[in-house]
Amino acid sequence: MDRPFISLKMATSLDGKIALSNGQSKWITSQESRAKGRELRAKHDGICVGSNTVMKDDPLLTTRISGQPDPVRIVYDSRLRLSPDSQLARSAGDIPVVVFSREKAPKGLKQMGVQVFSIASVDDGLDICESLIVLGTLGVNSLLIEGGGTLAASFLRRGLIDRIHWFRAPIVLGGDGRNCIGDMAFSSLDKAVRFQRQSYEMIGPDTYEVLERVT
Ligand SMILES: NC(=O)c1ccc[n+]([C@@H]2O[C@H](COP(=O)([O-])OP(=O)(O)OC[C@H]3O[C@@H](n4cnc5c(N)ncnc54)[C@H](OP(=O)(O)O)[C@@H]3O)[C@@H](O)[C@H]2O)c1
């Protein structure tokens, strides 16, 4: 399948958590890392998140950098929980929002400019391969996944993450925090997805690593 180049951005604690158990995640990494994360957005055609992230954080997912293009914002949302009051829906008239769902778009969301694509479901959620075909038709050749851990795991499980951008703050959230990658259910270590570090630097108090999949 001809598919976009897919990168995963993770902003985690030292122990690989992206939120507390109550979902609070603002902010784990520093202002400097978050600015770099917004620069990354501008380098991609699309940014995607899972529906839990939208429900919890109500993100806008823009670059907020003047003169920089905003990518298409994409949500995997089987039950179409995206609210017309969400920041994504309210800004859809200006910056495209694509929602993958099992449901058909209600009039309200459509009128606001949200594009809803009905796709099939598989074992672990919406059919990611089908979604990538749709994204190809929309001209999305590079995709940045911004979480959460459940969506990231679905892409990883299928060997669909080409690059990881990992911002790691020197704080510990503990075992009850939310994992940056959901369950993978590997039965042996040789099934693990392996990456090779391409670069490593400090950004403010955080580390920033770029890793590429070992094929
Ligand atoms: N620190 C950070 O940078 C960062 C970044 C992002 C998120 N977060 C935090 O992460 C938490 C949310 O993460 P999460 O892991 O609970 O949820 P998530 O990955 O944001 O969303 C998962 C949901 O997406 C939907 N989905 C549809 N198709 C899917 C597929 N093929 N694979 C996986 N999911 C699919 C499912 O819900 P439906 O059944 O409704 O479709 C699924 O439950 C929030 O607390 C948020 O604040 C932190």
pLDDT digits (tens, 9 = 90+) for 122-176: 999 999 999 999 999 999 999 999 989 999 999 999 999 999 999 999 999 999 9
Q: What are phi and psi of 68, to 5 degrees?
A: -95, 140
Question: Separation of 42 CA from ligand 1 center, angstroms?
Answer: 22
User: Could you tell me which of 6, 22, 2 has the C-alpha nearest to residue 152?
Assistant: 6
Q: Is 179 in the pocket of ligand 1 (CB under 6 A)?
A: no
Q: Is 151 in the pocket of ligand 1 (CB under 6 A)?
A: yes
The number of the ligand 1 atom at minimal distance from the alpha carbon of 76 is 27
Q: Is 119 in the pocket of ligand 1 (CB under 6 A)?
A: no
Question: Check: CATH 3.40.430.10 for 5-213?
Answer: yes
| E-strand stretches of 82-141 | 97-101, 114-118, 121-122, 125-126
Pairing of strands 17-19, 125-126: unpaired
Peptide bond into 136 cis (omega under 30): no
- pLDDT value of position 142: 98
- pLDDT value of position 194: 96
- The whole-angstrom separation of Cα 134 and Cα 128 is 10
Q: What's this model's pTM, rounded to 2 decimal places?
A: 0.96
- pLDDT value of position 1: 65
Domain parsing of the chain, residue ranges: 5-213
The residue contributing the CA closest to ligand 1 atom 33 is 151
Q: Is 52 in the pocket of ligand 1 (CB under 6 A)?
A: yes
The number of the ligand 1 atom at minimal distance from the alpha carbon of 179 is 15
- pLDDT value of position 200: 98
- With a cut of 70, which residues of the chain have pLDDT below it? 1
The residue contributing the CA closest to ligand 1 atom 45 is 23
Q: Is 131 in the pocket of ligand 1 (CB under 6 A)?
A: no
Q: Is 128 in the pocket of ligand 1 (CB under 6 A)?
A: yes
What would the two tokens of residue 29 be? Answer: 């990494």
